[in-house]
Amino acid sequence: MNLVVNQHIVIHQLRVDAVTNSSVLQIGSAGLIKPLSNIYNTGGFTGPAEQLATAGNEISLVPLPSPT
């Protein structure tokens, strides 16, 4: 069976609340989505990273805008 899908998609705003390692975001139709997961040790690390020493202060590594 052949299925022909014609689509016109206009996205004015797209909000994604969470992304995890196994997330799939699909817009439109797909005949087949194959799962793929790759883990790379590009730094050649042999053990876990050292713990970040903080004095009860939260550190944000990504600058975030102030909530309005």
The pTM of the full predicted model, rounded to 2 decimals, is: 0.27
For residue 59, what pLDDT band results from cuts at 50, 70 and 90? low
Q: Rounded distance, CA 31 to CA 27, Å?
A: 12
Instruction: Please indicate whether residue 23 or residue 50 has the higher confidence score (pLDDT).
Output: 50
Q: What is the pLDDT of residues 1-38, one digit of tens each?
A: 887 777 788 888 888 887 776 677 777 766 676 777 78
Which range, 22-26, 44-48, 62-66, is most confident? 44-48
Exposed, middle or buried by CB within 10 Å (0-12, 13-18, 19+), for 23?
exposed
